[in-house]
């Protein structure tokens, strides 16, 4: 349908002079410029797995917020545009992840995401009732993405005060307009992938999106799809702004082939498809293969070979990539299809990621417990501060006086603590701390909690599975080895331009810990009627005995006459004769 639109537009552009008045008006109003780029980055990981990251970016120079309603959507999906204008959204970030990113084995991802669903939104200043708008927004998004986001309510929504600063343009930081929620229990499947693919301009018919087939994508160790919407500057002075929509999909494929020697991956093996053409609507369509670990080509072998090389600063490191430009017909060769083949030998230890976190629950029994969060700073000599955000559901009652932060065995007092205690059945706990991590150390944060007994209707149908606690978010500016580029408007690959870079010596990193699964004591679900009866019986025993003692008095008991005598007395009374 979109190609037909393009054809119609070109046709009207040609027939300017001879067309009807409406089309003359249409062509004289300039259409806001929009641009679509797609890219795929493939990075072989040290554990033998392979990491593929798709990014699809649509830039549109329009203004949803000003009065004139946008009605002609071209590359930007209409459903999301309407969401932005109706709910006055300034930034929207939603991700659906299946699996947990193993930082120690795989390094850092380009775009981190926690297991389950995560949604955080910055609203515009003009919104008066943020909570009501948030509720409507989650329900609408639930429909768009076919996910059960309607479970997001006040009991799992928090307002972080420092951790989630706007990623696009935004000087205002009134945190009343920020909402953050996670659903760690959410499962991602084909049903969520399909509407996500429908948002792409070319759908899944052309370009890199043809590779997104669910039978292979969900047969992986890690799968994450996300949508990020934010306003960005178009030039250095930020005179024009445009709306950026990024759809990202990260997937890590398992190493199946055992045995020594070289590991082999191909596009067909990973996605069961090959590429035949770029998306016609895309201004740039590239594939990047990370060959930094082996620039000479001894360990690595990529076919078909390419001479295009590119260097980019990503995650504080300068990486070298082989580039395949899909807009050039030559890339596809004579067979008109591109099936990249990568052979490499899994090499020695990789560079340890500078920031890494783990979390677990300690304790035994169903009464109390302790949450331990471990943060590893692997930099040999630099220390840096991290912001830890913890959102714990209300039924695990945290005791903040038991909070301890220790590094290298010594007490490490956080310089900033923002704690909002929970209210039963209304809102969760929110704990945000700024902790300075000393170099080459492990920092342990422990908090004790108490498990609550809930009403029998508040348990899920599988109560002994446990209750999920969402991942902790650790945000930090990590010192980088190479100088980072602070000019975000320069032409650079999509994967290196997601997080804005404000200074040269450090880059922004966000790490998510594991979600926790905590058991709560359960009542017996088969017993409501029995319990009501038994308890009311006990209360009635109390009432009855006190009632007897209060309303009756002591009397001498006269033995009652036998049955015969009683009948005789009745007859005598009827006769009018005195009784026996």
Partner 1 sequence: MAAPLTLLLLVAVTVRAALYRSSLADLISERVEVVSPLTAWKRVVEGLALLDLGVSPYSGDVFHETPLIIYLFHFLVDYAEITFMLADVITAVALYLSVKDYNKQVFRKQKYALEADRYPLDCLELIRSPKEMQYIPLKVAMFYLLNPFTILSCVAKSTCGLNNAVIALFVLSTIKGNVLLSAIFLSLATYQSIYPLTLCAAALLYLLQRQYIPVNLRRFSFWWFVAQYAFMYLGSLFVIVGLSFFLLGSWDFLPSVYGFILSVPDLTPNIGLFWYFFAEMFEHFRLFFLCVFQINVFFYTVPLSIKLKEHPVFLIFMQLAVISIFKSYPTVGDIALYMAFLPVWSHLHRFLRNIFLVSCVLLACSALFPVLWHLWIYAGSANSNFYYAITLLFNVAQILLVSDYFYAFLRREHHLSHGLYLKRKDGSEATLVLK
Q: How many residues bind partner 1 (CB under 8 A)?
A: 52
420 binds partner 1 (CB under 8 A): yes
Nearest to 156 by CA among 177, 134, 133, 176: 134
Burial of 432 (0-12, 13-18, 19+ CB in 10 A): buried
| Smallest gap from residue 572 Cβ to partner 1 (A) | 19
560 binds partner 1 (CB under 8 A): no
Return the DSSP state at 175: G
| Smallest gap from residue 427 Cβ to partner 1 (A) | 9
Which residues inside 335-364 make contact with partner 1, applying CB under 8 A? Answer: 364
Q: Name, in order, each residue with C-beta under 8 angstroms of 492's C-beta and a sequence gap of 6 or more.
A: 312, 485
Nearest to 302 by CA among 573, 580, 50: 50
Q: Site for partner 1 (CB under 8 A): which residue of 456, 466, 479, 500?
A: 456
In angstroms, the Cα distances linking 362 to 368, 392, 521 are 9, 15, 16
Q: Between 260 and 553, whose beta carbon lies closer to partner 1?
A: 553
Looking at 87-95, 221-229, 324-332, 420-428, which segment touches partner 1 (CB under 8 A)?
420-428
Q: Between 365 and 380, whose beta carbon lies closer to partner 1?
A: 365
Q: Between 20 and 453, whose beta carbon lies closer to partner 1?
A: 453
CA 494, CA 166: separation in Å to the nearest integer?
Answer: 18
Q: Between 143 and 528, whose beta carbon lies closer to partner 1?
A: 528
| Smallest gap from residue 445 Cβ to partner 1 (A) | 16
Looking at 282-290, 305-313, 465-473, 517-525, which segment touches partner 1 (CB under 8 A)?
517-525
Q: Between 143 and 421, whose beta carbon lies closer to partner 1?
A: 421
CA 333, CA 519: separation in Å to the nearest integer?
Answer: 58
Q: Between 208 and 454, whose beta carbon lies closer to partner 1?
A: 454
Burial of 314 (0-12, 13-18, 19+ CB in 10 A): buried
| Smallest gap from residue 242 Cβ to partner 1 (A) | 41
Q: Between 453 and 571, whose beta carbon lies closer to partner 1?
A: 453
Site string for partner 1, 475-514 (x = CB under 8 A): ----------------------------------------
CA 29, CA 508: separation in Å to the nearest integer?
Answer: 41
| Smallest gap from residue 129 Cβ to partner 1 (A) | 21
CA 337, CA 329: separation in Å to the nearest integer?
Answer: 10
Nearest 5°: CA angle at 267, between 205 and 327?
55
| Smallest gap from residue 414 Cβ to partner 1 (A) | 11
DSSP of 121-142: EEEPTT-S-HHHHHHHHHHHHH
239 binds partner 1 (CB under 8 A): no
Nearest to 156 by CA among 447, 391, 507: 391
415 binds partner 1 (CB under 8 A): no
422 binds partner 1 (CB under 8 A): yes
CA 288, CA 54: separation in Å to the nearest integer?
Answer: 10
Looking at 63-71, 330-338, 455-463, 481-489, which segment touches partner 1 (CB under 8 A)?
455-463
Site string for partner 1, 265-294 (x = CB under 8 A): ------------------------------
Looking at 40-48, 143-151, 246-254, 416-424, which segment touches partner 1 (CB under 8 A)?
416-424
Q: Site for partner 1 (CB under 8 A): which residue of 3, 360, 399, 416?
A: 399
Q: Site for partner 1 (CB under 8 A): which residue of 21, 30, 259, 365?
A: 365
Q: Between 259 and 578, whose beta carbon lies closer to partner 1?
A: 578
564 binds partner 1 (CB under 8 A): no
Q: Are 449 and 489 in contact (CB under 8 A)?
A: no
Q: Site for partner 1 (CB under 8 A): which residue of 128, 260, 487, 555?
A: 555
Q: How many Cβ atoms from other residues are within 10 Å of residue 137's Cβ?
A: 22
Q: Site for partner 1 (CB under 8 A): which residue of 70, 452, 477, 568?
A: 452
Which residues inside 529-548 make contact with partner 1, applying CB under 8 A? Answer: 531-532, 534-535, 538-539, 541-543, 545-546, 548
Dihedral of the alpha carbons of 436, 441, 442, 445, in degrees to the nearest 10: -20
- φ/ψ (deg, to 5) at 210: -65, -20
Nearest to 153 by CA among 162, 142, 163, 145: 142
Nearest to 182 by CA among 509, 512, 520: 512
CA 111, CA 11: separation in Å to the nearest integer?
Answer: 41
Binding positions for partner 1, rule: CB under 8 A: 364-368, 394, 397, 399-401, 417, 419-425, 452-457, 521-524, 527-528, 531-532, 534-535, 538-539, 541-543, 545-546, 548-550, 552-559
């Amino acid at each position: 349908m979109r190609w037909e639109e393009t054809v119609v537009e070109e046709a009207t552009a040609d027939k300017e002079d001879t067309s009807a008045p409406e089309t003359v008006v249409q062509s004289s109003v300039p259409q806001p410029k929009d641009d679509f780029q797609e890219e795929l980055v493939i990075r072989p990981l040290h554990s033998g797995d392979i990491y593929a990251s798709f990014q699809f970016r649509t830039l549109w120079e329009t203004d949803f917020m000003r009065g004139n309603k946008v009605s002609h959507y071209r590359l930007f999906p209409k459903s999301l545009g309407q969401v932005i204008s109706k709910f006055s959204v300034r930034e929207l970030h939603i991700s659906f992840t299946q699996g947990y990113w193993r930082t120690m084995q795989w390094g850092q991802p380009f775009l981190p995401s926690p297991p389950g669903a995560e949604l955080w939104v910055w609203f515009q200043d003009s919104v008066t009732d943020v909570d009501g708008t948030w509720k409507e927004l989650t329900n609408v998004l639930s429909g768009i993405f076919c996910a059960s986001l309607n479970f997001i309510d006040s009991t799992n929504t928090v307002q972080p005060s420092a951790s989630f600063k706007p990623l696009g343009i935004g000087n205002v930081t009134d945190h009343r307009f920020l909402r953050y929620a996670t659903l760690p229990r959410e499962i991602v499947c084909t049903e969520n992938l399909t509407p996500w693919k429908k948002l792409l301009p070319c759908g899944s018919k052309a370009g890199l999106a043809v590779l997104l087939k669910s039978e292979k994508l969900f047969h992986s160790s890690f799968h994450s799809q996300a949508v990020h919407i934010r306003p960005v500057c178009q030039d250095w002075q930020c005179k024009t702004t445009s709306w950026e929509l990024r759809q990202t999909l990260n997937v890590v494929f398992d190493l199946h082939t055992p045995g020594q020697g070289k590991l082999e991956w191909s596009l067909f093996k990973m996605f069961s498809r090959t590429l035949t053409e770029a998306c016609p609507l895309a201004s740039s369509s590239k594939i990047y293969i990370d060959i930094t670990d082996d620039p000479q080509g001894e360990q690595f072998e990529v076919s078909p070979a390419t001479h295009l090389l590119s260097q980019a600063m990503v995650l504080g490191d300068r990486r070298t990539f082989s580039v395949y430009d899909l807009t050039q017909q030559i890339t596809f060769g004579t067979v008109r299809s591109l099936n990249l083949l990568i052979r490499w030998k899994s090499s020695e230890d990789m560079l340890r990621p500078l920031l890494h976190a783990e979390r677990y629950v300690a304790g035994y029994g169903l009464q109390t417990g302790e949450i331990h969060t471990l943060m590893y700073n692997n930099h040999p000599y630099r220390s840096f501060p991290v912001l830890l955000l913890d959102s714990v559901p209300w039924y695990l009652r945290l005791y903040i006086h038991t909070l301890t932060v220790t590094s290298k065995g010594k007490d490490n007092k956080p310089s900033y603590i923002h704690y909002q205690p929970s209210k039963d059945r209304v809102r969760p706990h929110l704990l945000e701390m700024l902790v300075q991590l000393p170099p080459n150390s492990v920092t342990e944060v422990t908090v004790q909690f108490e498990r609550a007994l809930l009403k029998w209707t508040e348990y899920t149908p599988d109560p002994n599975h446990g209750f999920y606690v969402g991942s902790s978010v650790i945000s930090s500016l990590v010192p980088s080895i190479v100088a980072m580029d602070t000019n975000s408007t320069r032409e650079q690959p999509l994967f290196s331009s997601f997080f804005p870079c404000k200074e040269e010596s450090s880059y922004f990193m966000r790490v998510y810990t594991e979600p926790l699964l905590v058991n709560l004591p359960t009542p017996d679900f088969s017993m409501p009627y029995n319990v009501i009866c038994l308890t009311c019986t006990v209360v009635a025993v109390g009432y009855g005995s006190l009632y007897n003692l209060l309303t009756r008095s002591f009397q001498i008991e006269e033995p009652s006459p036998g049955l015969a005598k009683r009948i005789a007395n009745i007859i005598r009374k009827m006769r009018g004769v005195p009784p026996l």
